[in-house]
């Protein structure tokens, strides 16, 4: 027992022989009383000893700890993120070649390096670099347009449904408005078709985004070409139809403009002498 072992260390003479617990009372309360008597006897016989408690160290604040402390293992969550879905081709953008032609920046020259529609929307920037799509700003431009198309953000003509050989025909049709009377909208019709509610396949015609009507029946908009008669127009797939035009530097750009123009004025003054 711990009491028997601690008694000699405390100078206790109250216990001269090991206790016989088999002869001790079986009642728990009697055993507890016996232990208390033995402990009090040992404390009374023991010399006065000053017990000094070791100073308690305060925990170090976390901001004072070195940064090289071991951190809990962080799982690589990016490996479990599902890949973005591949959008379906549209009638106006049926394949990768057409997509690269529409967004411009001479990306159509890389069409042979991208074998399929799925590859166009699944290749990473590193894979595009290995395929030879350079410079880096061109890859970033392609990836940005790819995400826009995946989110349904098309350029002009992207929502058109009737396309033949890369050409979509537009006409003006009158529909019933929410208020009294009719109003005109621009709709996409099959090639050579007429724009009446009876001939349209849609029960509720959807206007083509990006174009509007000027005067009575003139269709205007970016890259919209009027047809003969002026009552119809067409949109054709061509290089750079959706391209985001880059700005160009004038006289060296904003940083060097003053320097270059000053040199030019000096050369003009010297030439007039």
Segment 219-273, tens digit of pLDDT: 999 999 999 887 889 999 999 999 998 888 888 888 899 999 999 999 999 999 8
Q: What is the pLDDT of residue 268?
A: 95
Note whether residue 29 is domain-resident: yes
Long-range Cβ contacts of 180-188 (<8 Å, 24+ apart): 184/213, 184/217, 185/213, 186/211, 186/212, 186/213, 186/219, 188/160, 188/161, 188/162
Q: What are residue 169's DSSP bridge partners?
A: 189, 234
Q: What is the pLDDT of residue 14?
A: 46
Domain end, chosen from 150, 185, 215, is at 150
- Residues 61, 113, single domain; the answer is no
Note whether residue 188 is domain-resident: yes
Host domain of residue 200 = 167-236
Q: What is the pLDDT of residue 124?
A: 93
- Residues 179, 142, single domain; the answer is no
Q: What is the pLDDT of residue 89?
A: 94
- Residues 2, 62, single domain; the answer is yes
Note whether residue 26 is domain-resident: yes
Note whether residue 34 is domain-resident: yes
- Residues 140, 197, single domain; the answer is no
Q: What is the pLDDT of residue 80?
A: 64
Note whether residue 88 is domain-resident: no
- Please tell me the distance from the alpha carbon of residue 102 to that of residue 100, in angstroms, as a whole number: 6
Domain end, chosen from 119, 150, 181, is at 150
Note whether residue 220 is domain-resident: yes
- Please tell me the distance from the alpha carbon of residue 78 to that of residue 212, in angstroms, as a whole number: 44
Question: What is the domain count for the chain?
Answer: 3
Per-residue tokens: 74: 């962080």
Note whether residue 241 is domain-resident: no
- Give the pLDDT means over successive 10-residue stretches in the chain (273 positions): 47 50 54 59 53 68 61 57 85 95 94 93 94 94 96 92 92 80 86 66 79 88 89 92 88 89 95 90
Note whether residue 16 is domain-resident: yes
- Please tell me the distance from the alpha carbon of residue 35 to that of residue 19, in angstroms, as a whole number: 11
């Amino acid at each position: 027992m711990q009491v028997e072992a601690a008694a000699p260390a405390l100078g206790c003479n109250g216990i001269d022989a090991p206790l016989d617990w088999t002869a001790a009372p079986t009642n728990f309360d009697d055993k507890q009383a016996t232990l208390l008597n033995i402990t009090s006897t040992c404390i009374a016989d023991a010399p006065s000893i000053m017990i000094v408690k070791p100073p308690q160290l305060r925990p170090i604040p976390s901001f004072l700890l070195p940064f090289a402390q071991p951190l809990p293992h962080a799982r690589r969550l990016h490996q479990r993120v599902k890949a973005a879905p591949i959008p379906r081709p549209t009638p106006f953008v049926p394949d990768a070649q057409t997509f690269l032609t529409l967004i411009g920046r001479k990306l159509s020259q890389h069409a042979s390096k991208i074998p399929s529609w799925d590859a166009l929307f699944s290749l990473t920037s590193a894979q595009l670099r290995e395929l030879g799509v350079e410079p880096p700003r061109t890859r970033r431009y392609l990836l940005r347009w790819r995400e826009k198309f995946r989110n349904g953000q098309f350029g002009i003509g992207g929502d058109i449904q009737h396309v033949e050989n890369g050409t979509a025909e537009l006409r003006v049709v009158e529909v019933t408005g929410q208020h009294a009377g009719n109003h005109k909208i621009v709709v996409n019709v099959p090639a050579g078709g007429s724009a009446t509610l009876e001939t349209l396949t849609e029960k509720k015609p959807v206007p083509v985004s990006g174009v509007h009507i000027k005067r009575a029946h003139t269709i205007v908009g970016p890259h919209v070409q009027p047809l003969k008669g002026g009552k119809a127009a067409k949109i054709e797939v061509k290089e750079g139809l959706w391209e985001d035009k880059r700005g160009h530097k004038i006289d060296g750009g904003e940083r060097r403009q003053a320097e270059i123009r000053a040199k030019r004025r000096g050369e003009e003054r010297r030439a007039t002498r």
